[in-house]
C-alpha cells in the first residue's frame, strides 16, 4: 500500500469544486464530528437542533444549510444539502489507498487468466483459469476468483473474498472480507423417501457497476438463470441473497437481511436491517421496508412497510402475547357483544 494523503484545502477551493458559497475562510485538512473536531477540521450541521454542540465546537469551519446560514460566526460553507456536501469533502480529503500494480509471488494464476498490468494481486490470491481482471483492480490477500470470472475495472476486493466460477462483476465494485459470491443456491428436490436430490445450480451472479458489498454477505448463483445485482446497489454485512434474486439499481439493504429465492426487488428501495423477504415475489421501486419486517407478499406500490413487535417489559409482553394467541376468539366475542346490543336496541 502506498500512503496517499489528501492535501489541505481552503474553503474557497471546496466551493469551487462542489458549489455552495463560503463565508469567511479556513484551511481544511480533515472532517470530524461537532464534538471531536479541532484545528483544521470541517464539520456539518445536520439540523438546527445541534446548535448547542455547534456553539461548543472547535472546528475551523462548518457546512450548513441555507436556512442555517447565519446560525454561527464560524467560517462556513452554505449549501443545499450539508450531509451530502460533507460526504464530498470527506471523499476529497480521504482518497482510497493506492496499491502497487503487480502480482505477488505467492499468487496462483490459472491458465488463460488475463490480469490487467495495472491491477494489484496480493499474497495468496488464487485466480482461476480464464478469469479476466480489469484495470486498476485491487485483490487483497487470500481472495479467490473462480474460473472465467470477469471483474470490471477499479474493483477493490478486501482480503478473503471468494467468487465462484463464471460470475460477472461490474466496474468500481467494492467487496469486503468474507463475502462469498456465486455459491450454489439452496435447491433440492424431495425424493419419495423424504431425502433430497440436489438440483445443479447452473446460473451465475451478475453484478453491475458501483456496487458495494459488506463483510460476510453471501450472494448465491442462479439455479437456471442468473442472480442479478444492478448498478449502484449497496449491501451491508451478513446479508443472504438467494438464487435468482434481482435487486434493482441503487437499492440499499442493511445488515442481517435475508432475501429468498427469485424475489425481485425494485430500484431505489431501502430495506432495513434484519428484514426478511420471501421468495417469488415482486417489490416495486422506492419501497421502504423497516428493519425486522417480513415481506411475504408482492408490494406493487411504493410506500413504507412495517411489521415487528415492539419490545416491552417481559411481564407485560407475557400478558399481552398470551392474549394474542386468542385474538381471533376475542374478536368473535366483540362481534357477539355488538350483535346482542344491536338486538336490544331494536327491542327498546
Among 42, 138, 140, 265, binds a second copy (CB under 8 A): 140
Q: Give the one residue of 24, 101, 118, 225 binding a second copy; rule: CB under 8 A.
A: 225
Which of the stretches 13-21, 56-64, 70-78, 85-93 binds a second copy when contact is defined by CB under 8 A? 85-93
Least separation in angstroms between residue 118's CB and a second copy is 21
71 and 52 Cβ atoms separated by less than 8 Å: no
Kindly indicate which of the ranges 14-22, 50-58, 104-112, 113-121 contains the residues binding a second copy, using the contact rule CB under 8 A.
Answer: 104-112
Q: Does the protein bind a second copy through residue 120 (CB under 8 A)?
A: no
Long-range Cβ contact pairs of 274-283 (< 8 A, separation 24 or more): 279/242
Q: What's the min distance (Å) between Cβ of 178 and a second copy?
A: 5
Q: Does 224 bind a second copy (CB under 8 A)?
A: yes
If binding is defined by CB under 8 A, does position 13 make contact with a second copy? no
Contacts of 84 (CB under 8 A, 6+ apart): none
Distance (Å, whole) CA 220 – CA 209 = 18
Q: Does 305 bind a second copy (CB under 8 A)?
A: yes
Rounded Cα–Cα distance for residues 87 and 113 (Å): 37
Q: Does 108 bind a second copy (CB under 8 A)?
A: yes
Of 27, 104, 135, 153, which one interacts with a second copy (CB under 8 A)?
104
Please list every residue from 250 through 269 that binds a second copy, using CB under 8 A.
250, 252, 254-256, 258, 260, 267-268
Q: Between residue 160 and residue 189, which ones bind a second copy under the rule CB under 8 A? A: 160, 162, 164, 174, 176-178, 180, 183-184, 186, 188-189
Our CB check for a second copy shows the closer of 70 and 80 to be 80
- From the list 9-17, 59-67, 113-121, 328-336, the region that binds a second copy by CB under 8 A is 328-336
Q: Tell me: does residue 128 bind a second copy (CB under 8 A).
A: yes
Q: Which of 160, 243, 250, 280 is catalytic?
A: 243
Residue 32 and residue 44: Cα distance in Å, rounded? 8
**Stretch 15-74 residues interacting with a second copy (CB under 8 A):** 30-33, 36
Pairing state between β 174-175 and 156-157? parallel
Is 79 one of the binding residues for a second copy (CB under 8 A)? no
What Å distances lie between residue 105 and 109, 120, 124, 264, CA to CA? 10, 12, 8, 43
Nearest distance in Å: CB 347, a second copy: 9
User: Least distance (Å) from a second copy to the CB of residue 52?
Assistant: 17
Query: Is position 326 annotated as part of the catalytic site?
Result: no
Handedness of CA 140, 142, 146, 148 (dihedral sign): positive
| 19-23: long-range contacts, CB 8 A cutoff, minimum separation 24 | 19/79, 20/63, 20/77, 20/78, 20/79, 20/80, 20/85, 21/77, 21/78, 21/79, 22/75, 22/76, 22/77, 22/78, 23/69, 23/75, 23/76, 23/77, 23/78
Residue 126 engages a second copy in binding (rule: CB under 8 A) = yes
Among 273, 281, 298, 302, binds a second copy (CB under 8 A): 273
Q: Is the distance from CB of 306 to CB of 291 less than 8 angstroms? A: no
Q: 258 with 277: CB under 8 angstroms? A: yes
Q: Based on the shown chain and the rule CB under 8 A, indicate whether residue 113 belongs to the binding site for a second copy.
A: no
Q: How far is the CB of 251 from a second copy (least distance, A)?
A: 10
Phi then psi for 30, rounded to 5 degrees?
-160, 160
d(CA 190, CA 196): 5
Catalytic residues: 243
Amino acid at each position: 500500500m502506498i500512503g496517499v494523503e489528501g492535501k489541505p484545502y481552503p474553503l474557497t477551493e471546496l466551493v469551487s469544486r462542489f458549489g455552495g458559497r463560503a463565508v469567511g475562510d479556513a484551511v481544511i485538512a480533515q472532517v470530524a464530528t461537532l464534538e471531536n473536531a479541532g484545528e483544521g477540521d470541517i464539520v456539518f450541521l445536520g439540523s438546527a437542533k445541534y446548535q448547542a454542540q455547534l456553539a461548543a465546537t472547535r472546528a475551523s469551519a462548518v457546512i450548513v444549510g441555507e436556512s442555517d446560514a447565519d446560525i454561527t460566526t464560524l467560517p462556513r460553507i452554505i449549501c443545499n444539502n450539508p450531509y451530502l456536501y460533507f460526504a464530498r469533502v470527506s471523499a476529497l480529503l480521504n482518497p482510497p489507498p493506492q496499491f502497487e500494480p503487480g502480482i505477488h509471488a505467492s499468487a496462483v494464476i490459472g491458465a488463460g487468466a488475463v490480469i490487467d498490468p495495472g491491477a494489484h494481486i496480493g499474497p495468496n490470491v488464487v485466480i482461476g483459469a480464464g478469469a479476466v481482471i480489469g484495470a486498476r483492480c485491487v485483490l487483497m490477500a487470500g481472495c479467490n476468483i473462480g474460473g472465467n470470472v470477469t471483474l470490471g475495472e477499479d474493483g477493490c476486493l478486501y482480503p478473503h473474498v471468494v467468487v465462484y466460477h463464471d460470475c460477472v462483476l461490474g466496474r468500481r465494485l467494492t467487496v469486503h472480507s468474507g463475502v462469498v459470491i456465486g455459491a450454489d443456491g439452496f435447491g433440492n428436490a424431495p425424493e419419495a423417501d423424504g431425502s433430497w436430490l440436489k438440483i445443479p445450480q447452473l446460473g451465475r451472479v451478475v453484478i453491475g457497476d458501483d456496487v458495494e458489498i459488506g463483510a460476510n454477505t453471501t450472494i448465491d448463483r442462479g439455479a437456471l438463470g442468473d442472480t442479478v445485482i444492478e448498478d449502484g446497489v449497496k449491501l451491508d454485512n451478513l446479508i443472504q441473497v438467494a438464487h435468482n434474486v434481482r435487486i434493482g439499481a441503487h437499492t440499499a439493504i442493511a445488515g442481517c437481511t435475508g432475501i429468498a429465492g427469485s424475489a425481485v426487488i425494485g430500484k431505489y428501495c431501502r430495506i432495513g436491517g434484519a428484514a426478511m423477504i420471501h421468495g417469488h415475489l415482486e417489490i416495486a421501486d422506492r419501497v421502504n421496508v423497516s428493519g425486522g419486517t417480513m415481506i411475504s407478499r408482492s408490494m406493487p406500490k411504493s410506500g413504507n412497510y412495517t411489521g415487528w413487535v415492539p419490545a416491552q417489559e417481559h411481564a407485560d409482553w407475557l400478558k399481552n402475547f398470551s392474549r394474542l394467541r386468542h385474538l381471533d376468539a376475542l374478536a368473535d366475542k366483540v362481534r357477539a357483544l355488538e350483535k346482542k346490543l344491536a338486538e336490544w336496541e331494536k327491542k327498546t
